[in-house]
Amino acid sequence: MFLIPALGFAAPPHNQAGIQGLTCATASYTGAGTDTCTVILNVTVNNGSGSAVNLTSSNAAVQVPASVTVPYGANSTTFAASISAVSAAQMATLQAKGWKSSSSFNLQLNPAAPTAALSAISCSSGSLTGAASDACSVSLTAAAPSGGFAVALASNNTALTVPASLTIPAGAVSASFGATASAVSTTQTATVTASASGVTKATSIQLNAGTAGWSMGSASVAFGNVNLNTTSTQSVLIKSTGTASLTISSGSVAGTGFSISGLSFPTTLNPGQSAALNIGFDPTTTGTKTGTVTLVSNASSGGTATIALSGTGQSTTYAVDLTWGAPASSTDPVAGYNVYRSANGGGYQLLNASVNAPTSYSDSTVQSGTSYQYYVESVDAQGKQSTPSNTWSVTVP
């Protein structure tokens, strides 16, 4: 008879089983929360007290129970892994240990995207003078979420206006808006505020009183020689050069033959705006004339401006040159011609004192602004005249 020696084999305790696997519902987690994990045994538990499994986590950001028990008749059980928010991406290894076996699961921890909040409001200039505008912006602590980030805006001074609100586009960390200042008479401060989700930020802009100023395109206008009863016009450009609106309250002209037009008084020019003053010279007598244009404004320096004027009236002489053809079929030789003229529809008068031999005549006694009519009669050697020619009309400028 042979005896079979006893082998060194020990059966697992009645309440223990081997670990087949460990898994969690989410392998990668962002921010704080809870992940549901499952321990799986390699057998079904067949004792009433269940099978205990020890649990550990390699990362303090993930907390698990010290152990769980797989109940009778089951081969798995679940447990909750409590996850705290992390500031940088990292890994947590969860481990389940059973009878002479273990299984692990790697859980990726990701930092949550930062929540956008109002960070600051600023303007490019802290001081504005007169009517002006400033470029301002609102910034966030993080990129705006989907749909954008709405910000309410306000100014505590009616002399400085801003939009009621603006929306920072999704993915952006800032947005711009304009602040528009009206001219003020005294220095003052305006506070611009931005508000969102219970956070308010503010910035201040100083508003300074502006001053009016102006410049003239010319301090004198010379017309030179101008024909009598003829208007010559020149323009002088007036520009508002200050930081406040320029108001020209009155304008007057002195001197015979001079006039102004193009501007009505009072007239107001905003800073940088220009307007043309038209000055006319219409002499009625010959000789040199002088005059002045005087303008009065609210300019802080040189509120009264004077433009010197000069021009010379000159008379104009005109002549009407007449030509005609000699009679082609006359049997009586032509000795010359008589020229007749009517002024403004009046009676005709003989112009030549003696018979005019050429077939042309120059009338140098005409006057400006008058209409004339002419006709010609041929004269033979005995002084007999032909019938009148056709009539020709002309108006002297």
Task: Write out the residue range of the structural domain in which residue 79 sits.
Answer: 19-110
What domain count does the chain have? Answer: 4
Percent of the chain residues past pLDDT 90, beyond the cut: 81
- Inside any domain, residue 8: no
Q: Does residue 201 share a domain with residue 127? A: yes
pLDDT in tens, 101-141: 999 999 999 998 888 999 999 999 989 988 889 999 999 99
- 308 and 224 in a common domain: yes
85 and 175 together in one domain = no
Is 6 contained in some domain? no
Among 183, 208, 233, the domain boundary falls at: 208
Report pLDDT digits (tens) over 370-380: 999 999 999 99
DSSP string, 36-52: EEEEEESS---STT-EE
**Cβ proximity of 371 and 393 under 8 Å:** yes
Do strands 90-98 and 51-57 pair parallel, antiparallel, or not at all (unpaired)?
antiparallel
pLDDT tens by residue, 193-217: 999 999 999 999 999 998 999 999 9
Question: What is the radius of gyration, based on Cα positions, of the chain?
Answer: 54
**Domain match, 254 and 226 both:** yes
The pLDDT-based confidence of 11 (bands split at 50, 70, 90) is very low
Residue 64: pLDDT above 60?
yes
Vertex 68 angle, CA 65 and 74, to 5°: 150
Assigned domain for 5 exists: no
Is residue 2 in some structural domain?
Answer: no
Residue 379 covered by a domain: yes
Domain membership flag for residue 342: yes
145 and 164 fall within a common domain? yes
Cis peptide before 5 (omega within 30 of 0): no
Q: Are residues 196 and 219 in the same domain?
A: no
> Is position 1 within any domain?
no
Structure tokens at 78: 């679940």
CATH number (domain holding residue 187): 2.60.40.2310
Pair 324, 244 in one domain:
no
Domain C-terminal end among 140, 175, 208:
208
We report the CATH number of the domain holding residue 383 as 2.60.40.10
The string of pLDDT tens digits covering residues 285-304 is 999 999 999 999 999 888 99
| Residue 11 lies inside a defined structural domain of this protein | no
Last residue of a domain, one of 110, 133, 168: 110
